[in-house]
A = this chain, B = another copy of it.
């Protein structure tokens, strides 16, 4: 077997790909060198999943990688029609981000319930001002996205006594169908978006959603920015039609310093970091290398994405 070529796309590739480098030629590419390298690649590791470069450089019908792995849960930036219809196998980083993101969402929910932000503001002003806050146990959450991340969020919130409805594309045991979402919204204290970005979900969190939420309810997005119509969320917050929101992902990332979102009242902004705990890069590199060893051994790959659905199907 001739030496295979593994192309790594990204400007901060993992330092340690020793297990791959022992067996293959590893080429690290940026946006400029990717188009030339891609036709000769057997395997493509998409380390920088925030760029459209892979989609733009995809060789179409020409020679192309047999396997693409992305160091992310979402595959929305990759899926051009030519990749979807090709026989190239696509895998993702399922397993790395679930627990950290679930912890992050649980933390956001408690922080909002207990008004930590208000307490921090009062501390800055050196003001002792007792308030009554919200009891979390017994509140209701709707988690949209019934994949591994949504399920981990469900588990974390439920363990704190929150009553959770998990909403997926279609109803199945333990999962409500997307058509049930409108009737679930009016009783939810928390609406959490952990859905994949697909043609079906783009812009789904718009005015019609926020209008159905309670005036005290909070919205959290840890999925992808374009799932949310930011101007509709902004309008709902400015008019106090909902109680607050936290966004970890945005239509345009990084958010520009002059973006009006920074100052929207009741909106907590974090820079797409909900899943990124210390050691995550090593974890991602290990996961790819484990799968690479399967590939070399002719074993089935883990975390194969259904390219038409846009995610790894789970039961």
Mark A residues whose CB is within 8 Å of B.
99-100, 103-104, 106-108, 110-111, 113-114, 116-117, 119-120, 122-123, 126-137, 156, 159-161, 253-255, 257-259, 262-263, 268-274, 276-280
Measured CB to CB, the closest approach of chain B to A274, in angstroms, equals 8
Given B106, B131, B156, B257, which contacts A126 in the complex, CB threshold below 8 Å?
B257
Give Cα A29 to B159, complex, Å. 43
Measured CB to CB, the closest approach of chain B to A148, in angstroms, equals 15
Q: Closest B-chain residue to A273, C-beta based?
A: B130
12 contacts between A and B (CB under 8 A): A103-B114, A107-B110, A107-B114, A117-B120, A119-B271, A120-B120, A123-B268, A123-B269, A128-B254, A131-B273, A132-B277, A133-B278
Measured CB to CB, the closest approach of chain B to A73, in angstroms, equals 16
Given B122, B123, B137, B259, which contacts A99 in the complex, CB threshold below 8 Å?
B137
Counting every copy of the chain, the complex holds 2
Given B104, B135, B268, B269, which contacts A278 in the complex, CB threshold below 8 Å?
B135
Q: Are B277 and A135 in contact (CB under 8 A)?
A: yes
Q: Are B107 and A103 in contact (CB under 8 A)?
A: no
Q: Are A103 and B270 in contact (CB under 8 A)?
A: no
Q: Are B161 and A130 in contact (CB under 8 A)?
A: no
Give the chain B neighbours of A135 by CB distance below 8 A. Answer: 99-100, 103, 277-279
Give the chain B neighbours of A99 by CB distance below 8 A. Answer: 135, 137, 161
Contact status of A277 and B133, CB under 8 A, knowing A103-B113, A268-B120 = yes
Give Cα A45 to B268, complex, Å. 42
Contact status of A103 and B110, CB under 8 A, knowing A119-B270, A278-B132, A278-B134 = yes
Closest 6 pairs between A and B when the two form their complex, measured CB to CB: A107-B110, A159-B159, A128-B254, A135-B277, A126-B262, A128-B271
Q: Are A116 and B107 in contact (CB under 8 A)?
A: yes
Contact status of A273 and B103, CB under 8 A, knowing A159-B160, A254-B128 = no
Give the chain B neighbours of A136 by CB distance below 8 A. Answer: 103
Q: Are A103 and B271 in contact (CB under 8 A)?
A: no
Q: Closest B-chain residue to A155, C-beta based?
A: B159
